A and B are shown apart, each in its own frame.
Chain A
Amino acid sequence: MNLIAISINHRTAPVELREAVYLKEDEIRPFINLAKENQIKEGLILSTCNRTEIFGIPVNNEASHDKFQTLLLSFKRSQSINEQHFQKFVSRDAIKHLFSVATGIDSLLIGDNQVFKQVKDSFQISEKSNFSGYIMHRIFDAAIRTGKRAISETAISEGAVTVSYAAVQLTEKIFSNLSKKSALVIGAGETGEIAAKHLSEKGIGSLAVTNRTLEKAESLSQKLNAKVIPFSEFCDSIYKFDIIISATSSPEILIRKDDVNNALKRRSNNPMILMDIAVPRDIDPATKEIDYVFYHDLDSLNIIVEQNLAKRKLEIPKVEKIIEEELDNFWEWYNSLQAAPAIKDLRDFFEEIRKDEVEKNKNKFSADDQEKLDILTKRIINKILHHPTVELRKSDESSASVETSTKIGIIRDLFGIHPGNNSEKE
């Protein structure tokens, strides 16, 4: 198979180089057009903050990895990127790499679910841009199936592997139903926003945001349908919240032990969770000594993250086994797309139908006519199959393997004559 892939990723290049070749969604379509102009008939472009990958099937066998690299660098024009920053794959290895990406075992955060969605989105862009042919479509199906199996059959995506998500998961170990709880996020920066989003996704009952700059808090609150509390007043209202996540860049402590003690009294000792994911810390660490207060800072949340990452690493062999199984399945299908066995299967399929029908109806004919019926039906089948047979042989000899494979694949799909299963003639 002449599938070629190049990848520039977190292992091969630093972030500034990855940023330099990052293709935004509105850049991918023009890039696909450029690829098509350069004799790449079908493929896939995947570009995330950690990787930019190009998978493609060239029209002829002359295209190489260098051509793919040149195309990308001519499109993005980066001087600092050279040969060493690319990983190169071909044929089975290219598909294996795609499966590894889709399952998350090639990600910076092992088991990252996000990349699975990004792979799906990339395939959709390819399809919409008419850049996904018969073979790429099958590769896409196999990659999605592999990704789904990895998620459902292994624990590769289980447990929080980011601090903000670990904070939210920890709250679920204390409270049973977040929809009945209220949360306050202090700080509307990136970390605060992510934490607030996680809480919102988990169905928190009510969410409030406070930030030194009111506009930023208002902007985040609009996105997440949250309330805004003025920064100068938030300390007096912490008793109203079951969960407080603080992620500001404040150099001094924002919530003191006395504040929490008072809040706890006002809420009749109802448990409070304080997640301090700021550096330097926003909440007095001494609050952890108070009963019914669960205080956690970056260090403690990082323990959860590290443990989950270690667990995910242990799942990699299981995912690799799934990848090998799916790769074997795909390859078996791909090998079936050869002309000679396909022609034989097609002829056997028609012959079986012919025999069945003759057998069922021969009693309606006299003994002399039965022999004629046999000859006549054979002649009809031969005439029907003559042109497809000639066409398949012709394209096989011309070594345009992708085109042949596509034709054979379509025939096999249309008539249901896949190797190993009997024809579905009824």
Chain B
Amino acid sequence: MISAIHTINILLPLLYFTTLIVYFYDFLKAEKKLINIKRVFLFITLFLHLFYIVLRTIAFDHPPITNVFEIFTILAITISFSYFLVELVSDIRGTGPFIIILPFIFQLISSLFIQDLVEVKDVLRSNLLGFHVISALLGYSGFTISAVYGFLYLVLYKDIKLNKFGLIFNRLPNLEVLERLSLYSAVIGFIALTMAIVIGVIWLPIAFPHFSYTDPKLIGTFLVWILYAAGIISKVFGNWRGKKLVMLSITGFTIAIFSTILSNFLAQSFHSFY
């Protein structure tokens, strides 16, 4: 089983890379026959990735959520799975390569540095933690996809304003669709993050009786949550739309990334497990 895990660990970044190339080729050429081929590639990659996670969970007796490189492989599969659903539901073309490049990078880093950990800290052996991590990752996947669509919105917006009618103009879906995809991804991400925070708040006093509410992780996450909540409320009840809204999504994503780096690697936080 271990040798199968090692083989798939090498195969996965290669498969993500191949899928990325197929999506990128489709972006350049937009040939009708590629529509199904690229989805088959993504499906095979996702299927193998799921199999890999199940194998790891069985072989090492814990789900791969106990260190940053294990988390990266989960992040890769959640982003690509979310995109796979978006593509099936919305039937849009042209945004794939901009999303799939992220799981490729996450999986590449994970495959290079992941270790066969059997021993993990006791504090990480908790069902509540499992739910917390999965919801948090779903949340961040949503924010990542939202930010990518937001970024694409800005690029297309600028191209249309400046009369640049090149590949971006020809291949991307229209501005309203990009805005909607960015918003929906952010809403899904926000709901998942809210769940992660609630579970985290329940689990935190049990796991760390002496934690502080001024912990950088708590402040950073709360900031991200407030930002997305404000954005969603502005959209629903106010006049925020288009550029303003996607800028907010990109800012939220950037803060989320900095908060994660700060709390997990740089600052002294209860959340630094690695």
Report if A and B associate in a common complex: yes
Chain B positions within 8 Å of A296 at CB level: 163
Secondary structure at chain B's binding surface: helix, strand, loop or mixed?
helix
CA distance A268 to B180 in the complex (A): 18
CA distance A292 to B177 in the complex (A): 16
Known: A303-B165, A304-B165, A307-B165. A174 touches B241 (CB 8 A): no
Looking at the assembled complex, report how far the CB atom of A89 sits from the nearest CB atom of chain B, in whole angstroms. Answer: 34
Give the size range of B's interface with the partner.
10 to 19
B163 touches A172 (CB 8 A): no
Considering only CB atoms, which chain B residue lies closest to A306 in the complex?
B165
B161 touches A172 (CB 8 A): no
Chain A positions within 8 Å of B173 at CB level: 176
Contact of B163 (CB < 8 Å), options: A268, A292, A300: A300
A-B contact pairs, 6 of them (CB 8 A): A170-B160, A174-B174, A175-B174, A175-B176, A176-B174, A269-B241
Residue A173 CB within 8 A of the other chain:
yes
Considering only CB atoms, which chain A residue lies closest to B166 in the complex?
A307
Looking at the assembled complex, report how far the CB atom of B97 sits from the nearest CB atom of chain A, in whole angstroms. Answer: 19
A174 touches B239 (CB 8 A): no
A268 touches B239 (CB 8 A): yes
B243 touches A291 (CB 8 A): yes
A176 touches B180 (CB 8 A): yes
Chain B positions within 8 Å of A177 at CB level: 176
Considering only CB atoms, which chain B residue lies closest to A291 in the complex?
B243
CA distance A304 to B242 in the complex (A): 24
Residue B175 CB within 8 A of the other chain:
yes
Considering only CB atoms, which chain A residue lies closest to B241 in the complex?
A269
Chain A positions within 8 Å of B239 at CB level: 268-269
CA distance A174 to B174 in the complex (A): 5
**A-contact 0/1 string along B83-127, CB 8 Å cutoff:** 000000000000000000000000000000000000000000000
A303 touches B160 (CB 8 A): no
CA distance A422 to B180 in the complex (A): 58
B161 touches A173 (CB 8 A): no
CA distance A173 to B179 in the complex (A): 12
Residue B169 CB within 8 A of the other chain:
yes
Residue A419 CB within 8 A of the other chain:
no
Within B238-258, the residues touching A (CB, 8 Å) are 239, 241-243
Considering only CB atoms, which chain A residue lies closest to B243 in the complex?
A291
Residues of chain A having any CB pair with chain B under 8 Å: 170, 172-177, 268-271, 288, 291-292, 294, 296, 299-300, 303-304, 307
B163 touches A174 (CB 8 A): no
Residues of chain B having any CB pair with chain A under 8 Å: 156, 160-161, 163, 165, 169, 173-177, 180, 239, 241-243
A173 touches B160 (CB 8 A): yes
B243 touches A174 (CB 8 A): no
Known: A173-B169, A269-B239, A271-B242. A294 touches B177 (CB 8 A): no
Known: A269-B239, A269-B241. A303 touches B163 (CB 8 A): yes
Chain A positions within 8 Å of B156 at CB level: 173
Considering only CB atoms, which chain B residue lies closest to A171 in the complex?
B174
Shortest Cβ-Cβ A-B pairs, 8 listed: A176-B176, A300-B163, A268-B239, A176-B177, A173-B174, A174-B175, A176-B174, A304-B165
Looking at the assembled complex, report how far the CB atom of B143 sits from the nearest CB atom of chain A, in whole angstroms. Answer: 23
Chain B positions within 8 Å of A174 at CB level: 160, 174-176
Chain B positions within 8 Å of A271 at CB level: 175, 242
CA distance A172 to B163 in the complex (A): 15
Looking at the assembled complex, report how far the CB atom of A93 sits from the nearest CB atom of chain B, in whole angstroms. Answer: 32
Contact of B242 (CB < 8 Å), options: A173, A292, A299, A307: A292
Looking at the assembled complex, report how far the CB atom of B180 sits from the nearest CB atom of chain A, in whole angstroms. Answer: 7
CA distance A346 to B249 in the complex (A): 75
Given A173-B156, A176-B180; 15 other pairs, CB 8 A cutoff: A170-B160, A172-B174, A173-B160, A173-B174, A173-B175, A174-B176, A176-B174, A269-B239, A269-B241, A288-B161, A291-B243, A292-B243, A294-B160, A294-B161, A299-B163
Residue in A170, A176, A304 with the greatest tally of chain B CB atoms within 10 Å: A176
Looking at the assembled complex, report how far the CB atom of A303 sits from the nearest CB atom of chain B, in whole angstroms. Answer: 6
CA distance A324 to B243 in the complex (A): 51
Chain B positions within 8 Å of A300 at CB level: 163
Looking at the assembled complex, report how far the CB atom of A97 sits from the nearest CB atom of chain B, in whole angstroms. Answer: 29
Considering only CB atoms, which chain A residue lies closest to B173 in the complex?
A176
Looking at the assembled complex, report how far the CB atom of B144 sits from the nearest CB atom of chain A, in whole angstroms. Answer: 23
CA distance A223 to B241 in the complex (A): 36
CA distance A288 to B163 in the complex (A): 11
Considering only CB atoms, which chain A residue lies closest to B239 in the complex?
A268
Chain B positions within 8 Å of A303 at CB level: 163, 165
Looking at the assembled complex, report how far the CB atom of B28 sits from the nearest CB atom of chain A, in whole angstroms. Answer: 13
